[in-house]
Amino acid sequence: MKPVIGLWFCSMKFVFQAMAVPPSGPQKTFLNTCLKLCRRAAGASTMLPSLVVSALFILLTLVLANGARRLLDRLVKDSFMRLLLQEAIAAFELCACCFELIIVADNFGVSAYGIFLFLLTIWWAFNWGDATACPYTHIEDVVLGNTDIRTAVLISAFELAGGMISFKYVQLLWSLEISETHRDRAFGECFTDLQVPVLYGAAIEGTATCLCRIASNALSEFKPRFSTAIDSFISTSLVVAAFDYSGGYFNPVLATSLKYGCRGNTLIEHVVVYWVGASLGAVASVFVYQHPTVQKLLFGHKEKEE
C-alpha cells in the first residue's frame, strides 16, 4: 500500500514534466484544434470571454491528466499499482472537468453543458484505457465473478480520493477569478441538485445508470461504426434528461466529489440517491442484459459467440 501511495505523490510532483512530452495521433489533433479555437476567441477581445475561460480550464485539466498518465507508464511497472493510480487520475480529471461544467450549465444553459459533456466523454473513452473512474463498474465485476470485493473496494477508494482532491485544484483555479462566472465560486456555498424526493431521486439515478450500462454493453458486442460517439450521445442525453431532477450524475464518485456537504441533503440521503441508487441500477443492468428476452430483443435469433 505504501509504494502505491508514494507513486501517486511522485506522479503528481512530476506532472508538469510530462507535459513536455508532445501528444500524438488523435490527441495532438484534438488539442491543436482546441488551442486554435481558443486563440481566435481570445483575439476578439482583450478579456477572454467566460465560455472560453471554462474551455481553457477544461483543456488544462485534460493536458495535466494526460501528462500524469504518461508518467505512470514510465515510472510504474506493476500493472495493478498502475491501474489504481490510473483510476485516481481519471476520477480527478472527470470531477475537475465536471466542476467547470457546472459553471457552463449555470451561465450558458444545459445545451452548452451537454455539448461539452458529449465531447469530453468521447475524449475519455479514447484516453482512459482500463480506468473507469466509477465504483459500480467494479461492483458489476464482483457480480460477474471477474474480481473480488477487496479489489473492488480498493480501486473505488483510489477513485474517491482522486475525485475529492480535484476540489482543491478547482478551488485554486476559481480563486483566480479570471472571468465573471468564477467570481465568488471558489469559496461560495453549494446546494444539492436533488429536486425530487429521495426515493424518486434514487430511482432516477438507478434507472438511468441501468440504461447506460445496457447500452454500453450492447454497443461493445455490436461494435457498430462510431460506437463511442453513439455511447456518448446516449449517456449525455440521459444526463441532460435527469439534470433538473437528480442532477444526472450516474456515478457515485462524481456525485460525492461535486456535491458532498452541499446544503439540501443529509449524508444518508446523499448516499441513498447517488451511491445506493446508481449501484443498484448497475447491478440490475447485469441481470437485465443477460435476460433471454432482452438478448432476443437485442440480437434476435443470432447466436452469440461464447
For 33-77, how does the pLDDT look when each residue is reduced to its tens digit (9 = 90+)? 555 555 454 443 334 689 999 999 999 999 999 999 999 999 999
**What total number of domains does the chain contain?**
2
| One-letter amino acid of 237 | S
Domain check: are 67 and 151 in the same one? yes
82-86, 113-117, 119-123, 298-302: least confidently modelled range: 298-302
Tell which of 127, 158, 188 closes a domain. Answer: 188
- Domain encompassing residue 233: 190-306
Tell which of 125, 159, 188 closes a domain. Answer: 188
Query: If you average pLDDT over residues 188-201, what whole number do you get?
Result: 94
Domain check: are 149 and 1 in the same one? yes
Does the pLDDT at position 153 exceed 70? Answer: yes
Distance of CA 251 to the CA centre of its chain: 8
User: Can you tell me which residue has the cell 505512470?
Assistant: 72
Q: Are residues 209 and 250 in contact, defined by beta-carbon separation less than 8 angstroms?
A: yes
Return mean pLDDT, the chain. 86
Domain check: are 217 and 160 in the same one? no
The pTM score is 0.81
Residue 188 to residue 220: CA distance in whole angstroms: 42
Does the pLDDT at position 114 exceed 50? Answer: yes
Beta bridge partners of 191: 263
Residue 114 to residue 248: CA distance in whole angstroms: 11
Residue 116 to residue 51: CA distance in whole angstroms: 11
Residue 78 to residue 65: CA distance in whole angstroms: 20
Domain check: are 177 and 213 in the same one? no
Q: Answer with the residue of higher pLDDT: 179 or 91.
A: 91
Percent of the chain with pLDDT over 70: 82
Domain check: are 163 and 215 in the same one? no
Domain check: are 236 and 107 in the same one? no
302 three-state secondary structure: coil
Domain check: are 3 and 152 in the same one? yes
81-90, 139-148, 271-280, 288-297: least confidently modelled range: 288-297
DSSP string, 166-188: HHHHHHHHHHT--SGGGTTTSS-
Q: Please give the pLDDT value at position 1.
A: 44
Show the CA angle centred on residue 275, arms to residues 146 and 87, nearest 5°. 55
Q: Where are the beta strands (DSSP E) in the chain?
A: none
Tell which of 188, 222, 241 closes a domain. Answer: 188
Does the pLDDT at position 300 exceed 80? Answer: no
Domain check: are 175 and 293 in the same one? no
Domain check: are 158 and 252 in the same one? no
Does the pLDDT at position 225 exceed 70? Answer: yes
Domain check: are 100 and 183 in the same one? yes
Q: Are residues 93 and 61 in contact, defined by beta-carbon separation less than 8 angstroms?
A: yes
Is the Cα torsion angle 252, 254, 256, 261 positive or negative in sign? negative
Q: Are residues 80 and 147 in contact, defined by beta-carbon separation less than 8 angstroms?
A: no
Domain check: are 206 and 172 in the same one? no
Confidence band, pLDDT 50/70/90 cuts, at residue 25: low
Nearest 10 degrees: Cα torsion 256, 259, 262, 268: -40
| One-letter amino acid of 233 | F
Distances (CA, A) of 61 to 25, 169, 199, 290: 19, 9, 35, 38
Distances (CA, A) of 142 to 24, 155, 282: 36, 12, 12
Q: Please give the pLDDT value at position 170.
A: 96
Domain check: are 76 and 97 in the same one? yes
Does the pLDDT at position 304 exceed 90? Answer: no
